[in-house]
Structure 1
Amino acid sequence: MNTPTNESGAAVVLRDVHKSFGAHKVLAGVNLEAQRGQVTAIIGRSGSGKSTALRCIDRLETVDSGEITVCGRRVDDPHVDLKALRLDVGIVFQSYNLFPHLNIEENIMLAPRAAKGLDKAAARELAHSVLAKVGLREKATAYPEQLSGGQQQRVAIARSLAMQPKVMLFDEVTSALDPELTGEVLKVIEELAAGGMTMVMVTHEMAFARRVADQVVFMNAGRVWEQGSADILTNPTTPELKQFVQSEL
């Protein structure tokens, strides 16, 4: 296992990261740090590169050039231990990706048993523990189709928590939910933040970013255009962020 290569307390570091899909340049030199125990919210218009940047952090996409370090591991290294990386990093998408033929506790037990070798009893106990964290312990034996979209998304979060990651990534996890269900999912994320979980989240929820994020990163044209505390949403220094914030009101 690698030891951290940076001394700034950053759990995630991107240095001059470039990524293209064919002739389309998606990331054009991204520089970003996400500190341990803090929440980093990445905002920006559709097509600004924010979701691609997030997927590169977990090596779901490979970069063309630049460096990415996550929990001390060089993710851009072609020989990086992906299994070890994904034990450190949990990711939750806007689609829940739950197995419909398994009940909720079975969905959560699957990865800890396969990746960590937990026996059935220990995995079930862990499943119930993380379900309690997202307020769904009583749904352990229900099936995904019996749950609302918000409940399914909370199960997806619990499934990631069961792997006890050091960093959690969230990619627009509320974009498919109506406002009431969005609120219940954001409440879970806010509670994780209060507990000191390191999180990087791509979000369009400006009010939530203002309230919870330690750092807000505005991406535009494949670059980090402006970053700082949540105050940048009230007092943007670039015309691009000012226009973006106004369009989101």
Structure 2
Amino acid sequence: MSQPLPSSAAPVVSLRDVHKSFGSLKVLDGVSFEVPRGEVMAIIGRSGSGKSTALRCIDRLETIESGEIIVCGHRVSDPKLPLRALRLDVGIVFQSYNLFPHLTIEENICLAPVTVKGKRRAEARETARRVLGQVGLGDKLDSYPEQLSGGQQQRAAIARSLAMEPQVMLFDEVTSALDPELTGEVLRVIEQLAAGGMTMVMVTHEMGFARRVADRIVFMHQGKVWETGPAGILDAPETAELRQFVGSGL
């Protein structure tokens, strides 16, 4: 497990009293947490608890009504923030792979480094080879997405984010569409990233994985951070809500 830096170090991700509604539905109700560099945070909770919305707000895929979000020194809650600068530092992987079907895996991975970061194509190809090797897909450079299994496509999506060399990676239920065998291969890749010191925030329903890999667990309930602490809170919850959640096996 990666070792978090001392608390005096500036956090890579910081949410302070964040509020967000969709119409009359309050989704985030004063959410606050911090993620130090090199730490892995797992956000858990029932469907509708606000966990995926919190993650999407970190990358400004959703805007907040009040509060403050700072990520890699970027004030995400500032409407004037250049999103390109933020997304150079933040990688996000969803449950849907979002790979371009008409491009090879190598071309999918090279696209953003060339068009966004201005890398030379030869350098981008070298990066693609490196990150695909990192996720165990070194032999799939010339394959098209439809030729890969769901687990391989998800690993390719992770490689595509890694190619941008982000400071922090966000994972939103990346295994929810996969069967158990494919889930295992994706989680192994994320575990290797954690061992390498990558700062990560992941929304997950994989409790065993969260126990094993996360430095800190955030349990969200009714739009609030209900309980937070090291992975041990899953074995000894302080609140009835987390006790019920863990006991239900969700």
Partner of 2:247: 246
Q: Secondary structure at the match of 2:171?
A: strand
Partner of 2:129: 128
Partner of 1:147: 148
Following TM superposition, the consecutive aligned residue runs of length 4 or more in structure 1 with deviations greater than 2 angstroms are 6-9
Cα distance in 1 for partners of 2:232, 2:90 equals 28
| Alpha-carbon distance, 1:8 to partner | 3.8
Partner of 1:28: 29
Partner of 1:64: 65
Partner of 1:115: 116
Q: Secondary structure at the match of 2:139?
A: helix
**More deviation in 50-59 or 113-122?**
113-122
| Amino acid corresponding to residue 53 of structure 2 in structure 1 | T
Structure 1: which 5+ runs fail to align?
Answer: 1-5
Partner of 2:50: 49
- Show CA shifts across 1:66-121 (max 9, x none): 00010111100011121110000000000000000000000000000001111111
Cα distance in 1 for partners of 2:27, 2:85 equals 27
What is the correspondence of 1:152-231 to structure 2 with a 5 Å cutoff? 152-231=153-232
Cα distance in 2 for partners of 1:44, 1:248 equals 11
Cα distance in 1 for partners of 2:155, 2:174 equals 10
Cα distance in 2 for partners of 1:110, 1:11 equals 26
| Amino acid corresponding to residue 38 of structure 1 in structure 2 | E
Cα distance in 2 for partners of 1:7, 1:89 equals 22
Cα distance in 1 for partners of 2:166, 2:8 equals 20
Q: Report the identity percentage.
A: 73
| Alpha-carbon distance, 1:9 to partner | 3.2
Q: TM-score with structure 1 length normalisation? A: 0.97
Cα distance in 2 for partners of 1:82, 1:7 equals 28
| Amino acid corresponding to residue 79 of structure 2 in structure 1 | P
How many pairs align? 244
Cα distance in 1 for partners of 2:248, 2:63 equals 32
Q: Secondary structure at the match of 2:55?
A: helix
Q: Secondary structure at the match of 1:138?
A: coil
| Amino acid corresponding to residue 164 of structure 1 in structure 2 | E
Q: TM-score with structure 2 length normalisation? A: 0.96
Cα distance in 1 for partners of 2:193, 2:41 equals 13
